[in-house]
Amino acid sequence: MRRAVGSLALLLTVLLCVGTASAEVVRGKVTNIDLKGNRVSVQTTDSKDHSFTFDPQDFIVWKGDDEVKVEDIKTGTDAEVGYYADETGKEIASWVDLTPASENEEVSVPAQGAAPVQAVAAAPAAPMATSAPVAVSPAVPPVSSATATDTGSTQ
């Protein structure tokens, strides 16, 4: 949630500053990071190269849900880059989301003859505790004496 709010705030700031520029996202592998020149390059799966400049004061880097430093961007890392093109067509990165390590790791397959790995079902959630009793209204509302039909007894 925090990340979504941060992304939205940054996107709105960029759009207000740039005017009609449209924000875009590209996904690929980081091919170069230049911290002194404030540039990051990414190659997409279809072999297109994108080179972005960034403003270190307005640039956000995530690894999953955690905000990390620009120095954490490494060549060869899978990344998603949010960017816009300025009036000259120059691509400017607003943020980079580094793929978490768990998504980059290879899945190991058990060796032939090894016991199969079985999925374990999650435990059911515990009921919510309440600090005060909860009033439950009856399914049928009580009948007042004014609306009851006379059956020979009074209420």
Mean pLDDT for 77-92 is: 94
pLDDT tens for residues 108-144?
Answer: 334 444 444 444 444 444 454 545 555 555 555 555 5
pLDDT tens for residues 33-81?
Answer: 999 999 999 999 899 999 999 999 999 999 988 999 999 999 999 999 9
Q: Say yes or no to pLDDT of 6 above 90.
A: no
More confident residue, 45 or 146: 45
Cα–Cα distance for residue pair 155/113, rounded to 1 Å:
79
What contacts 135, CB < 8 A, 6 or more positions away?
Answer: none
Q: Say yes or no to pLDDT of 149 above 70.
A: no
Relative to beta strand 66-68, strand 78-85 is unpaired
Q: How far is CA 126 from CA 123, 129, 131, in A?
A: 9, 9, 15
Cα–Cα distance for residue pair 82/11, rounded to 1 Å:
9
| Whole-number pLDDT of residue 64 | 85
| Whole-number pLDDT of residue 22 | 75
| Whole-number pLDDT of residue 61 | 96
Cα–Cα distance for residue pair 95/84, rounded to 1 Å:
10
Tokens found for residue 7: 């992304």
| Whole-number pLDDT of residue 38 | 97
| Whole-number pLDDT of residue 118 | 43
pLDDT tens for residues 22-41?
Answer: 789 999 999 999 999 999 99
Sign of the four-CA dihedral 55, 56, 58, 60 = positive
| Whole-number pLDDT of residue 47 | 92
Delineate the domains of the chain, giving CATH numbers in brackets.
2-101 (2.40.50.320)
